[in-house]
Structure 1
């Protein structure tokens, strides 16, 4: 069987879809026309992942406006002036802010999963946003008539329903995107915010049984937007022990872009709980140079010196285009990098006799 390998999620949108998004925003095309272009992009993404030899597929988030805000489209009671996320190159992303309740998802990831599965018989993984990220919508000043604890109750219920629907619809794995985990230590070095994030996510994950959690994973990275990061300067030593306290069966950890991957692998080896699998990043989406299969092989073999091969997997460090307007990496480059990951993981598996 060899070492498993999986994509993380987003893939740059094709030019036709980017043009359609622009035309839709200006009112030149309607919702149905945009949906048709999105489905074409999903079909092409699935096809190209199959050509790259990927054993597990994703829809590339072709129909999501972003990996974090997709459940919010059409939600009343939002203002645009929420939390600001600064990136190292100076650009920012801003979340909306909740102004009234109740809170509920307006779009659901299972819709994306079902659309993707229409185009393939291979396993399909579905990424969802972690509830901890959406907890940032609630303002520090509170919301009149809608206490924070009631918001968190509603959020946890929505997140549970989101994950459960994807599992029931046949997702190979449901992956919680938890990029805010590392960022929280930059905003609050004491770790209090991270503790709150972990507690909220576990409030959801603990509602699933062991067999279900074996099909649930958590992804962490320092962000990856417009070839920049928001928290790469935060030491993994502060994050990983608490990250592994999450009640999930799989962890997807950015590693290829780290300055000292051996040190991070040592931390993983020292803190990895039993009976979970860790997928290490062997592809850096921010680096414009396409890795060779041999480079990937060597990264996998280095990881196998710290992590038992039967508990090891590989992935990309991050999605290639977590926001729809991020065109910093070309679509062809993304697929070339994915093909290198697949082939390099195969080579490493052969070297390890798997």
Structure 2
């Protein structure tokens, strides 16, 4: 028996796609030319993942403007001055602010899934943004004629449709990106904001059957953008018990870059829900050094001292380029790290399961 191993999502875009995106934004090429560059990048991403032995692939988020804002592409009722996400190195990302209702996703993630499936010969997983992240679109002072309750109703329905569309299209698993979980504890150490986020995400997840929930996973990390994080200084034991209350069948947990992984593994062992599987991060996308397969193996063996082997898997800590303009990690480095993850997981599996 092997150990499952999966990518998290984003892969750095090739230079040709980045150039096409810039040309499209400047009006030098049209939608057809951009779509052709995106499809070429998706095809190359899937091909390279399969060539290095990835048993599950993604589209690498090649066509997404970012992991968080893809549903908003083309929406008109947005202003640029929304919630600010500060990173440790001083740079910021900013979400848009919703100016009127109703909220409707302009793009659903099954579009990206189907694009990858056209090129894949192995199962394809699909990342979607957690509704808790998009709840930050709603301004603190409210919106005239669109109360918060109505917004949350609309957001819940749209998030459900985003997930269900991917499940119906045959996704191997649908992964909710919940990077704001750890950030919530930095913004509100009391845990109140995190509890609100978990409740909202469960409001969506509870609309799915137990069989469907088994095909839904949740990813958490301290953010990863331009070689910096937004919440690595928040201790994991404060987050994990709340995170593991989510009605999901898999949890993808950043650990390779964690200062005290054994402490986090102990909490995971104490709180992992029945029948859920935890995929531990064994490669750090922010570290430019490529891990060796042996390092990956040792990280898996350390996790197996805390967690049952039949409920263990591996992943990368985070996506390698969650925002399209993040070129801090090269495409070749990302694939080299993924290869080490796959090979190191196989080494660990042989030791653990024979």
TM range (shorter): over 0.9
Supply the distance in 1 between the matched residues of 2:252 and 2:52 (Cα, whole angstroms): 20
1:186 aligns with 2:191: no
1:215: which partner in 2?
A: 215
Contact kept? 2:237, 2:263, Cα under 8 Å: no
2:298: which partner in 1?
A: 298
Supply the distance in 2 between the matched residues of 1:113 and 1:312 (Cα, whole angstroms): 25
What whole-Å deviation, never above 9, does each CA across 1:171-230 have from its counterpart, x for those lacking one? 000000000000000000011110100000000000101110110000000000000000
1:156: which partner in 2?
A: 156
Supply the distance in 2 between the matched residues of 1:215 and 1:142 (Cα, whole angstroms): 35
- RMSD, matched Cα: 0.6
2:136: which partner in 1?
A: 136
Q: How does 1:204-353 map to 2 (within 5 A)?
A: 204-353=204-353
Supply the distance in 2 between the matched residues of 1:117 and 1:14 (Cα, whole angstroms): 20
Supply the distance in 1 between the matched residues of 2:353 and 2:172 (Cα, whole angstroms): 25
Supply the distance in 2 between the matched residues of 1:189 and 1:76 (Cα, whole angstroms): 35
What whole-Å deviation, never above 9, does each CA across 1:13-39 have from its counterpart, x for those lacking one? 000001101111111100110010000
2:28: which partner in 1?
A: 28
Supply the distance in 1 between the matched residues of 2:353 and 2:253 (Cα, whole angstroms): 24
Give the secondary-structure state (helix, strand or coil) at the position aligned to 1:43: helix
2:173: which partner in 1?
A: 173
1:90: which partner in 2?
A: 90
Give the secondary-structure state (helix, strand or coil) at the position aligned to 1:352: helix
2:50: which partner in 1?
A: 50
Following TM superposition, the consecutive aligned residue runs of length 4 or more in structure 1 with deviations greater than 4 angstroms are: none
TM-score with structure 2 setting the length = 0.99
1:87 CA displacement: 0.2
Supply the distance in 2 between the matched residues of 1:172 and 1:107 (Cα, whole angstroms): 20
1:78 aligns with 2:72: no
Supply the distance in 1 between the matched residues of 2:281 and 2:297 (Cα, whole angstroms): 12
Give the secondary-structure state (helix, strand or coil) at the position aligned to 2:128: strand
1:76 CA displacement: 2.1
Supply the distance in 2 between the matched residues of 1:269 and 1:146 (Cα, whole angstroms): 43
1:68 aligns with 2:68: yes
Supply the distance in 2 between the matched residues of 1:347 and 1:271 (Cα, whole angstroms): 27
What whole-Å deviation, never above 9, does each CA across 1:286-305 have from its counterpart, x for those lacking one? 00000000000000000001
Supply the distance in 1 between the matched residues of 2:218 and 2:165 (Cα, whole angstroms): 17
Give the secondary-structure state (helix, strand or coil) at the position aligned to 1:315: strand
1:121 CA displacement: 2.1
Query: Structure 1: 5+ residue runs without aligned partners?
Result: none
1:125 aligns with 2:125: yes
Give the secondary-structure state (helix, strand or coil) at the position aligned to 2:219: strand
TM-score with structure 1 setting the length = 0.99
Supply the distance in 2 between the matched residues of 1:151 and 1:75 (Cα, whole angstroms): 16
